[in-house]
Amino acid sequence: MLNYITAGESHGRYLTAILEGFPSGLPLDLDFINVELRRRQSGYGRGDRQKIEADCVEITGGMIRKVTTGAPLGFLLTNKDCTIDQMPELHCPRPGHADLAGALKYDQGIRAILERSSARETATRVAVGAVCKLFLKKCGVEIAGHVLQIGQARIPVGALTVKDIRQGVKGSPVNCVCRKTEAVMIRMIDRARKNGDSLGGKYEIRAVGLPIGLGSYVHYARKLDARLAMLLMGQQSVKAVEVGDGVALAGVLGSEAHDAIFHSMARGYHHKTNHAGGLEGGMTNGEDLIVRVTMKPISTLAKPLASVNMKTRKSAKADFERSDVCAVPAGSVIGEALVAYGLADAFLEKFGGDSIAEVRRNYEGYLKRVRA
């Protein structure tokens, strides 16, 4: 239903995206999109690039008088640090980065590879996701993300609602709901920075207000869990995506793993537990969607690992360029955007509609039937 494509290099003049398939009639709150962009830029452990940039979106198509028209939406972000033509060529690929395979595959220097593989590109994805969040809000869906783990510091396990998450992360420089763990996370980031090292971690995204039946079981490519996993694995640094209890399900009995079904006049069909993370058979089951995403440590190290100079083929230390020490807090903001896109796409697939009013009508008709 929806489709988007991004273009632009980390130090190029612009970052752009086009989002196609978006319905008409949605007022675009540009301030909201820019707040989301700011959230992505912040977070303890970010590099100095974020002191240079003040990401701010321009909508270049698909909007008249701040309302969507149904035509492709164009997004434009202007880089302040647009030094791409002056940036030095690199020769020693960073282990863990796209440098080596990219340079060989595209027959280019490392500069061309890192400029596009850089996580700076996620700024445009956050802008696209922010528009999807505005759409989902109109359908009663809210999304929140938070950081579960950075390095060895992790929050105690416990189910948190979207409201708990929003409340809990307020003012947290690492987007964490636990002040005690936050302090340890910050100490670990400081230590990694001092040692010329980097850190990864894990974040969780939760969505509330979803109807039963988004996605489908009938074909692998229509399974919503598969689609969300693809979107999230497409985020730079991501190495694993879990749905609900995820990998822990390997160690429990079926009677402990699954969520018993109930019905009441007030709530319709529902569950009292949520091991499934809101997805069964590739479809939403009406409970909160819960996904957990693991990010590897940033591969640019101030104290570099061993590499090979691609000009001389001699052993050398990997190249180092300004980078982040830890991008997991930013990662959680990007994850929210990616999930928002995946859910908006699934909504439009289920309820169709060229205008927001039409989507709402179809959606309300469906709810009447499944809630009966």
Chain residues in the site for ligand EPS (CB under 6 A): 10, 47, 49, 81, 118-120, 122-123, 298, 300, 321-324, 327
Look at the chain and count its residues: 372
Cβ 55 to ligand EPS shortest distance, Å: 8
Cβ 239 to ligand EPS shortest distance, Å: 14
Q: Are 350 and 338 in contact (CB under 8 A)?
A: no
Cβ 267 to ligand EPS shortest distance, Å: 41
Nearer to ligand EPS among residue 2 and residue 334 (C-beta): 334
Distance in angstroms (rounded) separating the CA atoms of residues 149 and 176: 9
Nearer to ligand EPS among residue 329 and residue 353 (C-beta): 329
Distance in angstroms (rounded) separating the CA atoms of residues 156 and 42: 24
Cβ 43 to ligand EPS shortest distance, Å: 10
Cβ 199 to ligand EPS shortest distance, Å: 12
Nearer to ligand EPS among residue 149 and residue 236 (C-beta): 236
Nearer to ligand EPS among residue 45 and residue 282 (C-beta): 45
Nearer to ligand EPS among residue 76 and residue 208 (C-beta): 76
Cβ 320 to ligand EPS shortest distance, Å: 11
Cβ 317 to ligand EPS shortest distance, Å: 17
Nearer to ligand EPS among residue 201 and residue 244 (C-beta): 201
Residue 111 CB coordination number (10 Å): 18
In the chain the first and final C-alpha atoms are separated, in Å, by 28
Nearer to ligand EPS among residue 55 and residue 242 (C-beta): 55
Distance in angstroms (rounded) separating the CA atoms of residues 226 and 7: 25
Query: Which positions ≥6 away from 51 have C-beta within 8 Å?
Result: none
Cβ 198 to ligand EPS shortest distance, Å: 9
Nearer to ligand EPS among residue 34 and residue 355 (C-beta): 34
Q: For residue 252, what are the CA distances in angstroms to 21, 227, 249?
A: 42, 26, 6
Cβ 14 to ligand EPS shortest distance, Å: 14
Cβ 300 to ligand EPS shortest distance, Å: 6
Nearer to ligand EPS among residue 149 and residue 299 (C-beta): 299
Nearer to ligand EPS among residue 114 and residue 136 (C-beta): 114
